[in-house]
Amino acid sequence: MLLAAAPAVVAQDATVAVREVSVARDGDAVAVRVTTSGRPRWRTQALGDPFRVVVDLDGATYRLPETPTSALVEPVREIHGSQFRKGVARVVIVLEGRADFAVEPDERGLRVVFTRAVAARREPSPAGSAPAPAGVGRGLVYGIVMRAERSFAYLWDPATRQTGVYKVGDAFAGGVVETIEERRVVIRGAEGPIELKLDDPKPDAPTPPKKN
């Protein structure tokens, strides 16, 4: 689904322009494509209430309409962009609920790929309910961003019950982030390495359909 398009216009005070924003299914995933006039410099952050991924493009201009657009491709609910400030274009991807995601940059911009949707609201669990999915007690991975200069991961800390951004060497859940790879994070704890996978079950995650 094409959300918006505009001629490639690069301002004198910026290195790239946002040309197009689109969303489409990619197999079992959903990808939001941000097309720019050149390789962008970017930063992302995940925010809650509602859960959304914010993509900031440094040294960029936003020449598209700033009216929010309903995406209608779950789990993406809405996408809107703006000139956040001089030299910084911002694209905000609003989701139906928490979701795993990864960022894939290239020469024409970047893709934000969502691979697992999680329900936005959680009802209180009755007494005697089933135990939490494996991995919740040691942490969860909600997103991984691979970059040449430094990769980082969005990790949920069971002690603080908060999701934060971590890089190699950061303290996490009583250990230290040792390795960040495309689909997993390794934490070095007192009892040895702990592997956290992006595909680990998440609380409130819908059961994926079985494949024939």
| Mean pLDDT calculated for residue range 77-98 | 91
| Residues 112, 42 share a domain | yes
Q: Is residue 161 part of a domain?
A: yes
160, pLDDT greater than 70: yes
| Residues 142, 103 share a domain | no
118, pLDDT greater than 60: no
| Residues 99, 174 share a domain | no
Q: Which of 88, 117, 146 is the last residue of a domain?
A: 117
| Residues 109, 142 share a domain | no
Q: Which of 83, 117, 151 is the last residue of a domain?
A: 117
8, pLDDT greater than 70: no
Q: Among 35-39, 119-123, 126-130, which range has the highest average pLDDT?
A: 35-39
The angle subtended at Cα 78 by Cα 77 and Cα 79, nearest 5°, is 140
Q: Is residue 127 part of a domain?
A: no
Measure the CA–CA gap between 167 and 150, rounded to whole angstroms.
8
pLDDT range class, residue 174, cuts 50, 70, 90: confident
Q: Is residue 172 part of a domain?
A: yes
| Residues 57, 90 share a domain | yes
Q: Is the pTM of this model over 0.75?
A: no
Check: CB of residue 138 under 8 Å from CB of residue 196.
yes
Measure the CA–CA gap between 109 and 102, rounded to whole angstroms.
14
The residue assigned the tokens 């704890």 is: 189
Domain of residue 36, residue span: 2-117
| Residues 149, 113 share a domain | no
R_g (Cα) of the chain, nearest Å? 18
Check: CB of residue 136 under 8 Å from CB of residue 125.
no
Measure the CA–CA gap between 70 and 60, rounded to whole angstroms.
24
pLDDT for 15: 77
| Mean pLDDT calculated for residue range 12-33 | 83
Q: Which of 90, 117, 144 is the last residue of a domain?
A: 117
| Mean pLDDT calculated for residue range 185-191 | 86
Q: How many domains does the chain have?
A: 2
138, pLDDT greater than 60: yes
| Residues 63, 7 share a domain | yes
The DSSP H or E segment spanning 188 is strand 184-189
| Residues 97, 26 share a domain | yes
| Mean pLDDT calculated for residue range 167-195 | 87
Q: Is residue 173 part of a domain?
A: yes
